[in-house]
Every structure is written in structure tokens, then in C-alpha cells.
């Protein structure tokens, strides 16, 4: 059974007083993760109950009173772990969790998943402050992708490459092939597990057409056609500035509607918007943001383009988008910025909040690096070292130097 990296973090949090809330886009594996944690608890003979709120009878009962949950729990002196899947289906999930924490935190530990509609609710942020810890489940990283794809030998080879600085791999061509598939089809678990490329594309289209539609319905979007058109435009503009005025004019909808749709897409974890980096915080908050799609497979699906990487005209955009996805592994989105001047000088990513700040520029190969383009940045921010994340050649050092 493949376990995601988030599994161990959740495991260490199970004994904490705070409730554990798992966020993430649909189809990233939240329910599977919950079941694996339940199995672990039962193996250790910890009292555990799994509640799936796709069951409308359960939802109706818990809507009557959060305390009705107690009727589904075993009688025991031990603290009971309650796994709740799809908590957003309750009428007032924030109040449900708040009441149970305030009155029964010593007897009940809740580990819950929920879709975006729940997290848009300001009551979730306000009423659960200090009562919960959020855990974000992304689509798979490359090592998780290899594991789910059944490529155990290549995963071990990747580990060896990263643990031995001078190691030369006999499987580097196979790793390169899998890496290019990963960039084209992304990391949704079901997509990673599917060996046939046509079926990978079909699964991504199912995610696009069925599961994202559920996000649209639950978020109260009125103009579904405009929402999808905006989503496709953003996929074509990955790594570019988001101009709300231009988007509204193109789609013939109000600026406020574009802003609302952008907010929903962020809360659904389908896009990420990053802010510019300035020393002047006021300027930083008033400038345009850049957009990325956290899963390159979904991006390519929206563009209906699954061409192999070497034949694509958007290789640079894909690589920059993948570098952003790699940075998301260890940084909150709010901690990732970009730098740009009115004259067009730009650095793709700035990570200023770290103890060791860094700037990262994504390039397909070293021949595309023009040192003079970065003189202004290096002069303005000498304390932030500039690094280049180079795609080609995809060799041992490439995997060692991934962001």
C-alpha cells in the first residue's frame, strides 16, 4: 500500500489536542489517506470510527445536533479518533467542529477532510482559530508519482542519486522518460497509477469535467461557461500576470465576477496566485499577481494538449509551472513571490521569508541565461542569492538540484 508523505505528519498529529483538517483539491487522495490512518489506529487497538458524510442520513442526524455524533462512538475511557470524510456537507461544519472541540476535546480527536466550499467560509477561519491544524494534500510529488506508478526500482534509483553525490545511474534514461510523463500528465494519484497514456488523458478529462463541476456547483457559480473560459485562459497564461480588467473585457463579465472566480479557483486549489516582491509592502499588495496551476496535468488537459514534451512550443511555461509546484512542497504560497520592474526586468520566484532567502529563475537550458538581465536585481537585493533551475540536461545533477 502506497503511503503519501503527508501520512507521517498526520500520524504524529493524531495525539495532539487540536483537530486535524486535511485540505486539497478533489481526487488528490484525501479519503484514501483517512482510511489508511483509520487502519493504523485499529492495528494499534486505538478506538477509531470512520464517518463518511456522503451518507445523507448521517448528515441529517448531525445537522440536528453536533452532539448526536456521540451516539456513533464506542463506550471507552480512551480518547476516540473520529475520522470524518467530506465534513463540508454539514450545514454548519465550523460550528460542528467548534462545539465538539470546546466540550469534548479531551475525549474526541477529529481528523476531517472537506472540499473547497467549506474553506471559503470565513466562519471556518474565525471560529476554529487555535482549535485546528491544517494539512494540505497536493497532487503527487515526483517520488510519490514513481511509487504509485509501481516504479519501485526507479524510486530507489532516485534515492541513491540524491544520497550519493558522485553516483552515475544506469537508469537515467528511464528516469528522464518518467519525469517527462510527470510534467505532461501531472500527479493526480489515479493518473499516476494508470500506465496507458490515453487513459491518463481520459482520467484528467474526467477530473476536469466532473469533479471541478462539483466545485463550481458547491461554490455557487452562476455562469459556468464564463468560469470554464476563465480557467482555460489562465492555463494558457501560466506564469504570467493576471490582469482583471483585460479578463473581464475578454469574457464580457464584471471585474468583481472575475475576482470572485479567481478566489474560488484558489480555494479549490486549482490555481495559485503569487504576489510581487517589493521592500515597500503597500506596493507589493497593490500590484498584479502571477498565476500558476499546481498540477501540470490539469493545465495540459485544459489546453487539450498532451503532446510529448520535446515537441511542445510551451516547454518553458511548463517547466516554470513545474518549478512552482516543486517550491510549493516546502513553502506556503504566501511565501512565494516574483520580482518585476516596469521596464520588464523579472525574476520568476523570490523566497524572502526563509532564514536563507533565495531567488530562482527557471530556464530550459543554460544557453538561455543572459547575466545582464539580472544586474538590477542583484544590485537592489544583494542579500538574496539568485539561483537558476535548469531543466536540460535531465541527468543525475538535475535530480539532485531540484528546488
pLDDT in tens, 211-233: 888 888 888 899 999 999 999 99
The residues pairing with 241 across neighbouring beta strands, listed in sequence order, are: 290
For helices 315-328 and 172-185, angle between their N-to-C axes, nearest 10 degrees: 90
125 with 214, same domain?
no
Based on the domain organization, do 98 and 206 belong to the same domain? no
pLDDT reported for residue 145:
98
- Which of 93, 119, 136 is where one domain is finished? 136
- Torsion angle defined by CA atoms of residues 247, 252, 253 and 254, in that order, rounded to the nearest 10 degrees: 80
Residue 74 lies in a domain: yes
Asked, for residue 84, whether it belongs to a domain, the answer is yes
| Entry pTM | 0.93
Q: Is residue 155 part of a domain?
A: no
Q: How many domains does the chain have?
A: 2
242 in the same domain as 108? no
Does the pLDDT at position 120 exceed 60? no
Residue finishing a domain among 93, 112, 136: 136
276 with 358, same domain: the answer is yes
Q: Can you tell me the mean pLDDT for 245-253? A: 97
**Whole-number pLDDT of residue 106:** 93
Q: Measured on CA atoms in the order 175, 176, 180, 186, is the torsion positive or negative?
A: positive
Q: Determine the average pLDDT of the residues in 363-387.
A: 93
Same domain, yes or no: 121 and 236: no
- Domain, as residue range, for 298: 196-400
Confidence band, pLDDT 50/70/90 cuts, at residue 282? low
CATH number of the domain enclosing 310: 1.10.10.10
Checking if the pLDDT of 117 tops 60, the result is: no
CA within 13 Å, CB half, 64 = 9
For residue 393, how many other CB atoms are within 10 A of its CB? 12
Determine how many CB atoms are found less than 10 A away from the CB of residue 167: 12
Which three cell numbers, joined as nine digits, stand for 128?
476554529
**Local confidence band at 126 (pLDDT 50, 70, 90 cut-offs):** low
Say yes or no: 394 and 316 in one domain.
yes
Confidence of residue 341 (pLDDT cuts 50, 70, 90): confident
pLDDT above 90 covers a percentage of the chain that reads 82
Decide: helix, strand or coil at residue 215: helix
Determine, yes or no, domain membership for 242: yes
E strand map for 97-194: 108-113, 132-136
Cell readout for 368 is: 538561455
Same structural domain for residues 392 and 296?
Answer: yes
What is the 3-class SS of 354-381, one letter each residue?
CCCCEEEEEECCHHHCCHHHHHHHHHHC
What's the rounded mean pLDDT across residues 311-338? Answer: 95
Does residue 379 lie within any of the structural domains?
yes
Amino acid at each position: 500500500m502506497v503511503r503519501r508523505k503527508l501520512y507521517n505528519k498526520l500520524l504524529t498529529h493524531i495525539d495532539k489536542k487540536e483537530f486535524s483538517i486535511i485540505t486539497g483539491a478533489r481526487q488528490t487522495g484525501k479519503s484514501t489517506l483517512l482510511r489508511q490512518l483509520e487502519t493504523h489506529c485499529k492495528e494499534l487497538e486505538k478506538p477509531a470510527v470512520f464517518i463518511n458524510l456522503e451518507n445523507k442520513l448521517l448528515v441529517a442526524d448531525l445537522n440536528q445536533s453536533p452532539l448526536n455524533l456521540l451516539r456513533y462512538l464506542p463506550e471507552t475511557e480512551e480518547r476516540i479518533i473520529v475520522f470524518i470524510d467530506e465534513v463540508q456537507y454539514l450545514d454548519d461544519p465550523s460550528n460542528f467542529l467548534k462545539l465538539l472541540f470546546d466540550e469534548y476535546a479531551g475525549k474526541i480527536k477529529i481528523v476531517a477532510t472537506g472540499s473547497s466550499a467549506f474553506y471559503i467560509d470565513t466562519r471556518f477561519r474565525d471560529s476554529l482559530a487555535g482549535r485546528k491544524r491544517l494539512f494540505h494534500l497536493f497532487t503527487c510529488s515526483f517520488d510519490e508519482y514513481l511509487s504509485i506508478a509501481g516504479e519501485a526500482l526507479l524510486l530507489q534509483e532516485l534515492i541513491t542519486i540524491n544520497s550519493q553525490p558522485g553516483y552515475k545511474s544506469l537508469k537515467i534514461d528511464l528516469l528522464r522518460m518518467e519525469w517527462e510523463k510527470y510534467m505532461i500528465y501531472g500527479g493526480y494519484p489515479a493518473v499516476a497509477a494508470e500506465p496507458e497514456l490515453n487513459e491518463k488523458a481520459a482520467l484528467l478529462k474526467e477530473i476536469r469535467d466532473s469533479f471541478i463541476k462539483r466545485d463550481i456547483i458547491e461554490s455557487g457559480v452562476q455562469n459556468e461557461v464564463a468560469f470554464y473560459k476563465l480557467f482555460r485562459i489562465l492555463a494558457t497564461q501560466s506564469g504570467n500576470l493576471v490582469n482583471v480588467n483585460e479578463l473581464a473585457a475578454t469574457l464580457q463579465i464584471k471585474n468583481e465576477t472575475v475576482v470572485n472566480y479567481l478566489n474560488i479557483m484558489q480555494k479549490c486549489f486549482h490555481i495559485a496566485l503569487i504576489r510581487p516582491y517589493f521592500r515597500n509592502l503597500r506596493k507589493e499588495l497593490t500590484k498584479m499577481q502571477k498565476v500558476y496551476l499546481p498540477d501540470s496535468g490539469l493545465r495540459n488537459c485544459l489546453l487539450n494538449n498532451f503532446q510529448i514534451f520535446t515537441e511542445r512550443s510551451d516547454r518553458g511555461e511548463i517547466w516554470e509551472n513545474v518549478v512552482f509546484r516543486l517550491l510549493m512542497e516546502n513553502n506556503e504560497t504566501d511565501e512565494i513571490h516574483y520580482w518585476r520592474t516596469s521596464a520588464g526586468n523579472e525574476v520568476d520566484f523570490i523566497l524572502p521569508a526563509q532564514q536563507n532567502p533565495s531567488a530562482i529563475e527557471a530556464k530550459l537550458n543554460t544557453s538561455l541565461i543572459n547575466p545582464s538581465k539580472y544586474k538590477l536585481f542583484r544590485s537592489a537585493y544583494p542579500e538574496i542569492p539568485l539561483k537558476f533551475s535548469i531543466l536540460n540536461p535531465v541527468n543525475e545533477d538535475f535530480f539532485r538540484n531540484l528546488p
